[in-house]
Chains A and B, each alone.
Chain A
Amino acid sequence: MMPADEFLGWALAIAFAAVAISQIMAMFRLVIGPGSGDRILALDTMVVNAIGLIVLLGISQGTRLYFEASLIIAMLGFVSTVAYARFILRGDIIE
C-alpha cells in the first residue's frame, strides 16, 4: 500500500468520525435547545451534515451513485427549514 493511499484512508476515517460527532452534537442541541429557533437551526445543521455523510460514503466507495441523493437532500433541507421558520412566523405555510 502506498503512503498516499494510507493517508487517504486515515483522512476518510477522521472525516467520518468528525461529521458523525458533529451530527451527534447537533442532535444534542436539538434536544436541549431552549427555543424554536435553536431547534430549527439544529435540524438545518443535521441536514447539512447528512449531505456530508453521503458525500463521504460516495468517496469511500468510489462511486458516483450518491450525487443525486445529496442534491435532493440539499433541496429538501432548505425547503423544510424555510417551511418551519415560516410556520412559526406566520402561523401557516401556504397563505
Chain B
Amino acid sequence: MSWDIIGTYAVGVFLLIGALFTVVGAIGLVRFNDSMTRLHAPTKVGTMGIGALLLASMTGAFMAGQGSFHELLIMAFLFVTAPISANFMSKVNIHRKTCHTPPDAPADQTWSTLVKRDEDAPSSDVND
C-alpha cells in the first residue's frame, strides 16, 4: 500500500469526521432548549468540525504535491476567536435576561453587562 492510497484514505476519514462534528453541532443548535445551552453546540463542536475539514484540505494539498501549512492559519484563527465570540454571545444572553441572571451585585454596584447605557449619568464611570 503506497503513501498515495494512505493519504487518500486519510483525506476521506478527515472529511467524514468533520462532517459528523459539523452536523452534530447544528443538531445541538436546533434541538437544545435553552439559550445558554444552545451556545455550547456550534461554538465548540462546529469549530472542531471545521478544523477537521481544514486538516483534510491540507492533507489533500500535500498529496497533490502542492502542500503548505496555510490552512493552519485559518484553523488557529477560528480556534482563537470562537471562545471570544461565545463569550460575547453569552453576555448578550445575560443582558437580554434570556437565561438565569447573575445574583444581585453588592450594594451601590451593578453588573456591567446589565448596565443600560441610556440610563447612565453623563459623568458616570462604570467600568466595562
Contacts and interface: CB of A to CB of B under 8 A. Distances in A.
Interface of A: 2, 4-5, 7-8, 10-12, 14-15, 17-19, 21-23, 25-26, 28-29, 34-38, 40-42, 44-45, 48-49, 51-52, 55-56, 58-59, 62, 64, 67, 70-71, 74-75, 78, 81-82, 85-86, 88-91
A49 to B, nearest CB: 7
Q: Main secondary structure on chain A at its contact with chain B?
A: helix
Contact of A29 (B30, B73, B77): B30
Q: Main secondary structure on chain B at its contact with chain A?
A: helix
| Interface size classification for chain B | 35 or more
A19 B15 contact: no
A22 B91 contact: no
Interface of B: 4-5, 8-9, 11-13, 15-16, 18-20, 22-23, 25-27, 29-30, 35, 38-39, 42-43, 46-47, 49-50, 53-54, 56-57, 60-61, 64, 66, 68, 70-71, 73-74, 77-78, 81, 84-85, 88-93, 95-96, 98, 113, 117-118
